[in-house]
């Protein structure tokens, strides 16, 4: 019997980072193991302790974190991943991945995995619509990365616009389908 697939949840520095809590809960209800990798910017919005308590797994925050077998954490997680889900995905992480950068644990993990990568964009509408961001998204789609959202909704800047994180239920349904 094969081992169940694991979702590696990448959390980046967006106000939508709080929705990672609900994502973890909903995925775990589906009996999906979730491990969390977070950028230092994400820690401005949510604590590693919260995500660790919900996921029941150590939260990886450093490129230099080691696992029990002395393997770098990003390599170990990359090998275990059934899917890498980045939610929220900021314009910054989209740009890093499109450029092939690996200057933090999340971007290094993505470059190290063979698992499908799904990005759930959440950013200001102007950032999302910017020509460079759209080129970066197109480049990542061309090499097989999948995108969920963003959707039109209330943005931190006060208005409504394209850039709101997709609904958690939608993300979970697409993750479950991708794992099958």
Q: How far apart are CA 52 and CA 114, in angstroms?
A: 25
Angle subtended at Cα 37 by Cα 35 and Cα 41, rounded to the nearest 5 degrees: 150
Catalytic residue, chosen from 21, 120, 121, 157, is: 157
40-to-29, 47, 48, 63, 69 alpha-carbon distances in Å = 28, 10, 10, 11, 24
Is 157 one of the catalytic residues? yes
Cα 85 from chain centre:
4
Cα 50 from chain centre:
16
Closest CA to 22 of 178, 165, 180: 165
In the sheet that holds 146-147, the strands lie side by side as 33-38, 6-11, 81-89, 117-121, 146-147
**All residues at 6 or more sequence positions from 138 whose CB lies less than 8 Å from its CB, including other chains:** none
Catalytic residues: 157
């Amino acid at each position: 019997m094969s081992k169940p697939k694991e979702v590696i949840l990448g959390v980046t520095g967006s106000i939508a980072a709080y929705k990672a809590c609900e994502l973890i809960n909903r995925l775990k209800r589906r009996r999906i193991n979730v491990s969390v990798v977070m950028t230092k910017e994400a820690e401005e919005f949510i604590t590693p302790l919260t995500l660790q308590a919900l996921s029941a797994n150590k939260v990886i925050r450093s490129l230099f974190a080691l696992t029990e077998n002395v393997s770098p954490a990003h390599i170990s997680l990359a090998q275990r991943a059934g899917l890498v889900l980045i939610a929220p995905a900021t314009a910054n992480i989209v740009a890093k991945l499109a450029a092939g950068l690996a200057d933090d644990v999340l971007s290094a993990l993505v470059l190290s995995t063979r698992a499908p990568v799904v990005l759930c964009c959440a950013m200001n509408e102007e950032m999302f619509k910017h020509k460079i961001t759209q080129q970066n998204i197109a480049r990542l789609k061309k090499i097989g990365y999948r995108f969920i959202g963003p959707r039109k909704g209330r943005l931190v800047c006060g208005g409504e616009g394209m850039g709101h994180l997709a609904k958690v239920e939608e993300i979970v349904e697409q993750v479950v389908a991708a794992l099958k």
